[in-house]
Amino acid sequence: MINYKDLGLVNTKEMFAKAMKGGYAIPAFNFNNMEQLQAIVKAAVETKSPVILQVSKGARQYANQTLLRYMAEGAVAYAKELGCKHPEIVLHLDHGDSFETCKSCIDMGFSSVMIDGSHLPFEENVALTKKVVDYAHQFGVTVEGELGVLAGVEDEVSHEHHTYTDPAEVVEFVTKTGCDSLAISIGTSHGAFKFTPEQCHIDEKTGRLVPPPLAFDVLDGVMKELPGFPIVLHGSSSVPQEEVEIINANGGALKAAIGIPEEELRKAAKSSVCKINIDSDSRLAMTAAIRKVFADSPAEFDPRKYLGPARDNMEKLYKEKIINVLGSDNKLED
Ligand SMILES: [Zn+2]
pLDDT tens digits along 159-190: 777 889 999 999 999 999 999 999 999 999 89
Phi then psi for 129, rounded to 5 degrees? Answer: -65, -40
The rounded Å distance from CA 94 to ligand 1 centre is 7
Alpha-carbon 61 to chain mean position: 18
CB 141 within 8 A of CB 110: yes
**Do the domain assignments include residue 332?**
no
Confidence class for position 303, pLDDT limits 50, 70, 90 = very high
Q: What's the rounded Cα separation, in Å, for the pair 133 and 115?
A: 9
User: Which residues lie near ion ligand 1 (Cβ < 5 Å)?
Assistant: 234
Give the range among 35-39, 148-152, 184-188 with minimum mean pLDDT. 148-152
**Do the domain assignments include residue 331?**
no
Phi then psi for 151, rounded to 5 degrees? Answer: -80, 165
**Do the domain assignments include residue 30?**
yes
CB count in 10 Å sphere of residue 312:
15
The rounded Å distance from CA 115 to ligand 1 centre is 11
Domain of 215, CATH number, reads 3.20.20.70
The rounded Å distance from CA 130 to ligand 1 centre is 20
Tally the domains of the chain: 1
Kindly tell me if the per-residue pLDDT of 154 is higher than 80: no
The rounded Å distance from CA 36 to ligand 1 centre is 18
Parallel, antiparallel, or unpaired: how do β-strands 231-233 and 201-202 relate? Answer: unpaired
CB 195 within 8 A of CB 208: no
* Parent domain of 289: 4-326
The rounded Å distance from CA 182 to ligand 1 centre is 12
- Give catalytic residues, as residue numbers: 94
Global pTM value = 0.96
Residues for the chain: how many in total?
Answer: 334
215-248 residue pLDDT tens: 999 999 999 999 999 999 999 999 999 999 999 9
SS3 for 196? coil
Nearest to 237, CA basis, from 189, 198, 273, 166: 189
**Do the domain assignments include residue 333?**
no
